[in-house]
Structure 1
Amino acid sequence: MSTPPKMRMAALAVMMASTFFAAAPASAAVTVAVSPSQVSLPANGTQQFAATVSGSSDQTVTWLVNGVPGGAPSLGTISSSGLYTAPAGASSSFTATVTAQADAAPLATSAASVAVAASTFVGPVYYVATSGNDSANGSAAAPWRTIQHAMNSVPAGATVQVAGGTYNELVTITQSGSASAGYITLTSAPGQTATLDGSGLGVPQGQQGLITLQNASYVRVIGLQLQNYTSNSSSLVPLGIYVVGSGDHIEVRNNHIHNIVTTVTTSQGDAFGLAVYGNATTPISNLIIDGNELDHLTLAYSESLSVNGNVQNWQVTNNRVHDNNNIGIVAIGFEGTAPNASLDQARNGWIAGNTVYNISSTTNPAYNYQPGADGIYVDGGTHITIEQNNVQAADLGIELASEHFGHDTSFITARNNLVLYSNVTGISIGGYSSSVGGTDHCTIVNNTLFENDTTLSGSGEFQVQNHASNNLFANNILYANGQGLLVNSPISSSTAPVTLQNDLFYTSDSGASAYWVWNNISYTSLGSFQQASQSESNGLLADPLFSSTTTPDLHLSAGSPGIGSGADLGLAIEGAYDYAGSPRTDGGGLIDRGAYQQ
């Protein structure tokens, strides 16, 4: 088992290469062709695609699935060489779009259509009920009594249906399914909710989940309630669900995890709602965490939902994370979780469609009741896409940084998100001090930030701190409260930590209080900020004309200066869909600023 993490500090306190973010249209001579153009695949099937770039000596392309670089487990993943692998367990057939984007000309793309068949494997079903007996045969007429006995007994491909009721036990899953036999599935019986309740149970291995998946593959945990697991010791860490070791094709879906608690109030206390620790040389991969609710967690120095260490090809999607006293969702690297330092980094991930709110350490004695909890945080992760999330009333909405000196969070794209009413700042990059790591080659595009820094801390809508380099901030809408601070870059540096491009600024007092901080100097006009930062040549200080600022409804109304005025940065950067799932372009290449496309 892994050791408890250290305190995860929140952030309180050069012009990029044109090929990375250029908005210039691709030359008409540069085209891409993908072959084959249309295929059908079974579950877990593979297809090698090829891309030919014409009009350029640079033949390299970026491969995407439904606009996500590298794809994701539920969409299918694709390698840098174009090998697409279909999902192993899709519940229904669907069509994926595989796209190649020319690195030499980001607006030059070509796509192929992939019809993916649903998984058709149907294995045996076994039953657990509070009235059952572990000496029975596990049939519907003679169910078992404990979930642990069931998970020890069933073969690959089996489903364990747990009848509604309360089960006061810890469950450790070490059995695996397989690609040929199918998943082992643990689920509540149809129309019922099975509850694992940790009341009175200890933490026998130092760090234990109500459900622990250890070195397990092809396993699903679906539709359970996990609650009331408490530790009173700094050496004992309770979790709702714990995925640890190695393993592939793991799905954690539609569970409700709440009231997981540490009562330790010092720097040694830890608890988690759901944690994934890749602590082996073989990664945890093809991991889906989808549709879960995690709330009312008392976490001390740990997180609601954490992906840490040697974890690759994963997604955290459509979850509801709220009313917890530390970080909502985090992807972590460089903590020594994996035995090989080169693998110790959550990577190739997709954080999308999550709703995160009321995440604050102002109720956490381990933080001295100070605001320092992120809604969504990447601490040392790499190659992760963060999109279509709604983050409200966190201490920091989205943070991309690293807590380990000499290491960076890198190659993250945060796009098409809504970030509202954060206590400290909307989006933050760079390390919280000069003694930690930073942020490199990260892209923040087409987000809408609305009235963040509710505590008037002076951090503003977008904050830039230590060790930030080669980052892009473009096509965003920043609508500040009456304090007026839009961009806050207080660290003096001879090189630009971020390039700002095509953003739309406004404040709740009709723009009167607007100001920007660059190299620790304040500027009260957009023109002076543009000159100082040598960026934002197409920036605007104007009313975005939101549909409503009281509800709020952050769609753009007719006549908004944000409509059609965004820079087209290419599919890999801006994504295929806006916050609401509408196409990101209008069909004519026009991009709106902010999270919504009209």
Structure 2
Amino acid sequence: MKNLVLIFLAVTVIILVLIVFKNNNEQQDIYVAVDGNDEQDGSKLLPLRTLKKAASIAEAGTTVHIREGIYEEKLVVQHSGTKSKEIIFKPYKNEQVILSGKNLKIEEGDTSIITIDNKNYVTISGLIIQDLKTDLADETVIGVFVTGSSSHITLDSNHVQRIETHAEEGNGHGIAIYGTGSMKDITITNNIVEDLKLGASEALVLNGNIDGFKIEHNLVRRNNNIGIDLIGYEGVASDKKADFVRNGVVSHNTVHNISTYGNPAYGEEYSAGGIYVDGGRDITIEKNTIYQSDIGIEATSEHKGKYAENIDIINNTIYENFYTGIAIGGYDEERGGTIHSFISQNKLYRNDTKGLDGGQLMIQHDVRNNTIDQNILSAGPSRIFIANYFTTNENNELRHNVFHKEEGEKGIWVWKDEDFATFSKFKIASNSDTETSYIDPNYVDPSSHDFRLKEDSLARDIIE
């Protein structure tokens, strides 16, 4: 009898453990539909009507399935998930879900269609976020706004469009991640961010105390200010010693038609970077394609005495941009600069299309201890390869670069504010290594932007 009791108790304990385990790992599904009702239970057959109601009950382990339709309301995430049980907001199957700001109240401050404030382990996936506009200078309109100490946030496969400020000194963002507290693990992948009027702000921006991020496989286009921006030292973070974006990767993005020209905040300037590091550190920018924008990639700091530091700009394709291909250093002596960074294996093809003398690579103020290595530069209409109009660059190493020699065309190199019309003189002045060459790289078909090297390319021996 005693053995039977022990067996019974053991079986009971096992059953209880299994029940607890099941309850702790149970995933909850909530459904929302435009013909639903918030008095219902949120099941598939009895969906809720509003995102607000769904967010109020979506706790750890919940997936909110949003049925097809237009939702003219804000989505404010109200709870956090956990590492094993995140909270997910996404369309039901492949249905088209639009979150529209068309009829949201216009008021001063930050107005965002989706807000994640001090929440963790949240994914927003597959939504169309659009049509938030303002005429107020004191209102910043935002498609998706993540702030506070929010961490482990994923924005995947969303489409953000037509977020617009029409105020002369206004601000707008498509996606804005503001680390006022300590943020970690921000993932932004496979999104489209397009057709935005941004005023003095950026299409996709990370700013403040953000340590660890990925921005990959996004399409950013047709916006009237910076495409992707990684910022430090603007006073966003409460911890001033950690007020900069760091330890991240920006890769495999396509960025085009990014220009401030005609933006009321800039007039007729061509000053928007496709990808811009403004005071960030320890960031890799690789395998992106940037074209027909003002500046392809820029890395510096707009704050004097601060730097873009340890920035690796590697294997990007940058062509037909209006001002320059890659820019490093401050645009004047009141700005910061670029240090300990690595620019390598990039293809810079006929940038400076507006003849603004930015060339293919622009080296500006306070540029120190950087390596410029194994890049291929093809001169644009200005015929300028390198544009260095400052004398404040120090200890920068140029090696194994290829300057595209074209039949019947001459090149210009500007080094420490001195023009060189011959490659040999530039090579001596810049202390370039012996492998740096002035040859035709022999691209497969540059007219169709196929920048692969042919098998017999002499450049292969230099950069590969």
Give the TM interval when normalised to the shorter protein: over 0.9
The answer for the alignment partner of 1:132 in structure 2 is: 36
Describe the superposition over 1:146-188 as per-residue Cα deviations: whole angstroms up to 9, x where unpaired: 11110111221110000110000011113100124x1100001
Matched, 1:402 2:301: yes
Task: Compute the TM-score of the two structures, normalised by the length of structure 1.
Answer: 0.72
Shift, 1:539, TM fit: 0.8
Cα distance in 2, alignment partners of residues 444 and 457 from structure 1 = 22
Q: Show the 5 A alignment for 1:203-242.
A: 203=106, 206-242=109-145
The answer for the alignment partner of 2:355 in structure 1 is: 456
Matched, 1:500 2:398: yes
1:244 to 135, 139, 147: 147
Q: Which amino acid aligns with 1:560?
A: S
Whether contact under 8 Å (1:480, 1:486) holds in the other structure is: yes
Cα distance in 2, alignment partners of residues 373 and 350 from structure 1 = 20
Shift, 1:512, TM fit: 2.8
Relative to structure 1, the CA distance from residue 511 to residue 388 in structure 2 (aligned partners, 3 Å threshold; closer, same or farther) is farther
**Cα RMSD over matched residues?**
1.3
Whether contact under 8 Å (2:257, 2:292) holds in the other structure is: yes
Q: Show the 5 A alignment for 1:8-19.
A: none
The answer for the alignment partner of 2:271 in structure 1 is: 372
2:77 to 160, 173, 197: 173
Shift, 1:222, TM fit: 0.1
Describe the superposition over 1:293-345 as per-residue Cα deviations: whole angstroms up to 9, x where unpaired: 00000001000000000011101110000000000001000000001111100
SS of structure 1 residue aligned to 2:362: strand
2:431 to 517, 534, 553: 534
Describe the superposition over 1:361-406 as per-residue Cα deviations: whole angstroms up to 9, x where unpaired: 1131210132111000000000000001000111000000110011
Shift, 1:480, TM fit: 1.1
Q: Which amino acid aligns with 1:125?
A: D
Q: Show the 5 A alignment for 1:375-386.
A: 375-386=274-285
The answer for the alignment partner of 1:339 in structure 2 is: 238
The answer for the alignment partner of 1:188 in structure 2 is: 91
Cα distance in 2, alignment partners of residues 140 and 542 from structure 1 = 65
Describe the superposition over 1:205-251 as per-residue Cα deviations: whole angstroms up to 9, x where unpaired: 71132000000101000000000001111111110000000122110
Whether contact under 8 Å (1:351, 1:387) holds in the other structure is: yes
Aligned length: 440
The answer for the alignment partner of 2:288 in structure 1 is: 389
2:388 to 481, 485, 489: 489
Cα distance in 2, alignment partners of residues 337 and 270 from structure 1 = 16
Runs of 4+ in 1 over 2 A off after TM superposition: 202-205, 495-498, 509-512
Cα distance in 1, alignment partners of residues 28 and 338 from structure 2 = 49
Cα distance in 1, alignment partners of residues 341 and 334 from structure 2 = 20
Stretches of structure 2 that go unaligned for 5 or more consecutive residues are 1-24
Cα distance in 1, alignment partners of residues 150 and 267 from structure 2 = 38
The answer for the alignment partner of 1:270 in structure 2 is: 171
Shift, 1:499, TM fit: 1.7
Describe the superposition over 1:484-533 as per-residue Cα deviations: whole angstroms up to 9, x where unpaired: 1101111124x5363211100015x4263112111111111221011111
Q: Which amino acid aligns with 2:346?
A: N
1:202 to 59, 81, 105: 105
Per mean C-alpha deviation after superposition, the further-off stretch among 203-212 and 227-236 is 203-212
Whether contact under 8 Å (2:353, 2:382) holds in the other structure is: no
Relative to structure 1, the CA distance from residue 122 to residue 497 in structure 2 (aligned partners, 3 Å threshold; closer, same or farther) is farther
1:299 to 192, 195, 198: 198
Whether contact under 8 Å (2:215, 2:250) holds in the other structure is: yes
Q: Which has the higher contact order (CA 8 A, sep 6+)?
A: 1
SS of structure 2 residue aligned to 1:564: helix
Whether contact under 8 Å (1:374, 1:395) holds in the other structure is: yes
Cα distance in 1, alignment partners of residues 315 and 341 from structure 2 = 15
Whether contact under 8 Å (2:363, 2:388) holds in the other structure is: yes
1:141 to 18, 40, 45: 45
Q: Show the 5 A alignment for 1:43-54.
A: none
Cα distance in 2, alignment partners of residues 294 and 558 from structure 1 = 37
Describe the superposition over 1:542-579 as per-residue Cα deviations: whole angstroms up to 9, x where unpaired: 0000001211210001111111323xxxxxxxxxxxxx
Between the aligned residues of both structures, percent identity stands at: 34
Whether contact under 8 Å (2:108, 2:136) holds in the other structure is: no
Shift, 1:203, TM fit: 4.9
Larger Rg computed on CA atoms: 2
SS of structure 1 residue aligned to 2:220: strand
The answer for the alignment partner of 1:416 in structure 2 is: 315
Whether contact under 8 Å (1:203, 1:237) holds in the other structure is: no
Task: Compute the TM-score of the two structures, normalised by the length of structure 2.
Answer: 0.93
Cα distance in 2, alignment partners of residues 191 and 348 from structure 1 = 34
SS of structure 2 residue aligned to 1:458: coil
Q: Show the 5 A alignment for 1:26-175.
A: 123-175=27-79
Q: Which amino acid aligns with 2:97?
A: A
Describe the superposition over 1:109-133 as per-residue Cα deviations: whole angstroms up to 9, x where unpaired: xxxxxxxxxxxx6611110000001
SS of structure 2 residue aligned to 1:278: strand
Relative to structure 1, the CA distance from residue 410 to residue 519 in structure 2 (aligned partners, 3 Å threshold; closer, same or farther) is same
Cα distance in 2, alignment partners of residues 291 and 362 from structure 1 = 27
The answer for the alignment partner of 1:99 in structure 2 is: none
1:279 to 177, 180, 191: 180
Q: Which amino acid aligns with 1:503?
A: N
Q: Which amino acid aligns with 2:88?
A: T
Whether contact under 8 Å (2:355, 2:381) holds in the other structure is: no
Shift, 1:481, TM fit: 2.1
Matched, 1:543 2:440: yes
Cα distance in 2, alignment partners of residues 173 and 436 from structure 1 = 38
SS of structure 2 residue aligned to 1:529: helix
Whether contact under 8 Å (1:326, 1:360) holds in the other structure is: yes
